[in-house]
Amino acid sequence: MGLGTGYERQGCFLARALEVVGERWTLLILRDCFYGVRHFGDFLAHLDISRGVLTERLDTLVAAGVLERRPQGRGVEYLLTDAGRALWPTIHSLSKWGEKYLPGHHPPRVFSHAQCGSDLDEDGRCPTCGLVPDVADLVVRLAKGRNATPRDDPVAQVLRRPHRMLTPLP
Amino acid sequence: MGLGTGYERQGCFLARALEVVGERWTLLILRDCFYGVRHFGDFLAHLDISRGVLTERLDTLVAAGVLERRPQGRGVEYLLTDAGRALWPTIHSLSKWGEKYLPGHHPPRVFSHAQCGSDLDEDGRCPTCGLVPDVADLVVRLAKGRNATPRDDPVAQVLRRPHRMLTPLP
DNA sequence: CTGACTGGTCTGGTCACGAGACCAGTATGA
DNA sequence: TCATACTGGTCTCGTGACCAGACCAGTCAG
């Protein structure tokens, strides 16, 4: 769909935001970016997304200034820009909403403040420091519990152990 | 798509949430619910959405426990449940993100705390009270500025003046 | 030079969406 | 009492997005 997904006449910034970030897969791609995924092939393996759609979404996100595309070594890196990082509160609150109100057959991921080790509360605040830490200062880990059908790609494997957000992954 | 939008293997509550709330139009429907829209016909007039899709989205939201469907007088009312209201932080933060990082040719909507009259900050907090007010205690208004192509349905007309969130609209 | 790896493009079938015609139940008014 | 309008839908058909998988081009290692 690219830009102008049919929400033009809404005259509303929620609609504008959804033109960039509201398409199928986009928020999951960004979630992976926060986890530290940077390469085309890793997105492909971790999300069950088709190549064509992944290409299109990455292009849209780069065009919108949410990701930066940077050739590197053998390959290409996609990195969150400041605008991209600013989406963290949205992603976190939607995740927490799902955890609270929707049934799921898998353990949630927990975010903790790297400096003091406390788990964040529902609003993303560190209960010890009282502040909302920067995403780069968070560690994700999987809560205890059995996942019925765990994935087995390289990204999923790294994410079984605690991992510092935004640091390169596999 | 209904439930099971193809994100099943993600084992992640963000994906679960997106199965309910991540399809085209859904968040805009919910935005309208927060504004106080309750009737099929008003959603239809305010969003440029097709009848079939609107029907399907409302059904999905009711099935997921986000909206409640209640026959009333002549017609039917769709009301936010507690789970539905809990989506406000997500919608607000995404809106604010769009306002800050995306170009738009229209004035933003501003939310203020009804009790003390202060405009909310970026995190949805009332700078005077220091707390995050309940959505029901907010008033929306349109910031000053010209909208290039304003809408002219009944809902849009009411929303030109300040309006208490969640109170019935047209 | 060859083979493997990465980041793609292209294609063909399927499924979701948009527009608009149609319809059923309930009030309302003459 | 019957015609009319209003509300909340359903149905159909054409178009476009998505998925799976084949294919491809550039680059680096051996």
Q: Count chain A–chain B contacts defined by CB atoms under 8 A.
A: 138
Per-residue flag: B48 CB under 7 A of strand C: yes
Residue in B with minimal Cα distance to A109:
B12
Print the SS3 string covering B77-129: EEEECHHHHCCHHHHHHHHHHHHHHCCCCCCCEEEEECCCCCECCCCCCCCCC
Distance B51 CA to C21 C1' (A): 12
Query: What DSSP element (H or E) covers A164?
Result: strand A163-164
Question: Quick one: pLDDT at residue A113?
Answer: 98
Distance A9 CA to D10 C1' (A): 27
Q: How far is A31 from chain B (nearest CA, A)?
A: 8
Question: Quick one: pLDDT at residue A93?
Answer: 97
What is the end-to-end Cα distance of chain A in Å, rounded? 31
Q: How far is B70 from chain A (nearest CA, A)?
A: 21
Q: Which of A16, A49, A120, A122 to mutate to test binding with chain B, by most B CBs within 10 Å of its CB? A: A16
Q: Please state, rounded to an integer, the average pLDDT across all residues of chain B.
A: 93
Show residues of chain B in contact with A99, CB under 8 Å: 13
Q: pLDDT tier at B94 (50, 70, 90 boundaries)?
A: very high
CA distance A62 to B75: 45
Q: Which nucleotides of D are covered by protein (CB under 7 A)?
A: 6-12, 16-22, 26-28
CA distance A2 to B46: 23
Tell me the mean pLDDT in the region B30-40.
Answer: 98
CA distance A26 to A109: 19
Question: Quick one: pLDDT at residue B73?
Answer: 84
Question: Quick one: pLDDT at residue B2?
Answer: 31
**A150 vs B11: CB contact, 8 Å cut-off?**
yes
Residue in A with minimal Cα distance to B87:
A97
As a whole-number percent, the residues of chain B with pLDDT over 90 amount to 81
Express each pLDDT in B64-92 by its tens digit: 999 999 998 889 999 999 999 999 999 99
Question: Quick one: pLDDT at residue A3?
Answer: 35
Per-residue flag: A56 CB under 7 A of strand D: yes
Q: Are A105 and A148 in contact (CB under 8 A)?
A: yes
All residue ranges of chain A with pLDDT < 50 are 1-4
CA distance B3 to A110: 25
**A98 vs B14: CB contact, 8 Å cut-off?**
yes
Give the lowest-confidence range in A105-114, A140-149, B20-29, B155-164: A140-149
Per-residue flag: B69 CB under 7 A of strand D: yes
Question: Quick one: pLDDT at residue A2?
Answer: 31
| Residue for token pair 């999987």 | A142
Question: Quick one: pLDDT at residue B5?
Answer: 67
- Rounded to two decimals, the pTM is 0.94
Q: Of B14, B24, B64, which has the smallest distance from its Cβ to A27's Cβ?
A: B14
Residue in B with minimal Cα distance to A14:
B95
